[in-house]
Amino acid sequence: MNVVKSMDEAWKYILEKLREKGATGKNAEIVADSLVYADARGTKSHGIHMLAAYLERIEAGGMDIEASPVVVKENEASVVIDACNGFGQAGVRTLADTLLKKAEHMPVVCGCVRNLNHCGALAYYTEYCAKKGYIALLFVNANPTVAPFGAMEAILGTNPLSVAVPTKDEPIVLDMASSAVAKAKIYQAAKTNSKIDASWALDEEGNPTDDPNRAIAGVLNAMAGPKGYGLALVVEALAGVLSGAGITKEVSSVHKGVQKGMNAGGFLILVNPGAFLSKEEYNRRMEQLIQDIKGAKPRPGGQVFLPGEIEQRRYKKSKIEGIEYV
């Protein structure tokens, strides 16, 4: 049963479901924005698919729908936000909005957020900042699923990072986990009885495996071996340690321990390109880079996209044609 909903219908549907649990107002709207944004871009793992988990946590008393993020500490170029175990989306969006104001007057600003629940797709926040003219680097930690390089025990999270860079048209938007793959891909392979890439995960004995079922019993690898492990650790230091949020096993899964908050954290840096180049010069130079990339000879059957480009095209299509839910 495939259903096509307009983005507006999907948005209203989410708000209705949240309202049934008592969540209304600005924060609930940000949650709906974030989930519809992800679905519209084709990144469904962070779309309405997540709503059930949010509702379950509210139901179980693990997320405080009354809470709004508060500023714990700030100065002209930095801020510490406590998301107070409310919606994760409200926490990171407040961090972004607070820093956007500061970035008007500073070449670079940064801040963090703690007591954070699941915040959806990171691109939602970085693209938002890039559309206002800032280069945004966002790091968020997550519950342990990934083994440090050389280990066979899940210590680090999928620890995603997103960087968005303004251009004269759509921003370039990178949004990636530092794990080799999303665990969902391994579950998918198990369902369809397919083999997985042996670099994705270790089995219960700590050996590489192409068997999705053995991988599910084992642990995820970081992407690109020690490099991805290093990036995941940097994310944990910025988003976990500096923010005052949970560190590694102190962060819980969005699907487990729903009687309590997740206690994740985030760290956001905004760079004002105007501190370095005039707007004209910046746009001209970014355009030069984009032309170089887009002009690269494609490999057989290949096509070159900028990071985020496929998602932006999909978003435009979804605006007109709606989102297909299966």
- Closer Cβ to a copy of itself, 180 or 186, answer by number: 180
Q: How far is the CB of 253 from a copy of itself (least distance, A)?
A: 17
CA–CA separation, 157 and 249 (whole Å): 9
- Closer Cβ to a copy of itself, 193 or 292, answer by number: 292
Residue 85's alpha-carbon distances to 197, 247, 261, in angstroms, are 37, 16, 6
- Closer Cβ to a copy of itself, 7 or 163, answer by number: 163
DSSP state of 107: S
Instruction: Indicate the helix (H) or strand (E) that contains 126.
Output: helix 123-131
Phi first, then psi: give them for residue 100, nearest 5 degrees. Answer: -60, -40
Q: How far is the CB of 81 from a copy of itself (least distance, A)?
A: 11
Cβ atoms within 10 Å, residue 17: 18
- Closer Cβ to a copy of itself, 32 or 235, answer by number: 235
The one catalytic residue in 46, 49, 105, 118 is 118
Q: How far is the CB of 303 from a copy of itself (least distance, A)?
A: 5
* C-alpha dihedral sign at 50, 55, 56, 62: positive
The yes-or-no answer on residue 105 being catalytic is no
Q: What is the largest CA-CA distance in the chain?
A: 56
Are 243 and 114 within 8 A, CB to CB?
Answer: yes
Three-state DSSP class for residue 102:
helix
CA–CA separation, 322 and 48 (whole Å): 14
CA–CA separation, 223 and 146 (whole Å): 10
Q: Which residues are bridge partners to 88 per DSSP?
A: none
Q: How far is the CB of 146 from a copy of itself (least distance, A)?
A: 10
- Closer Cβ to a copy of itself, 111 or 322, answer by number: 111
Q: How far is the CB of 191 from a copy of itself (least distance, A)?
A: 23
The residues annotated as belonging to the active site are 118
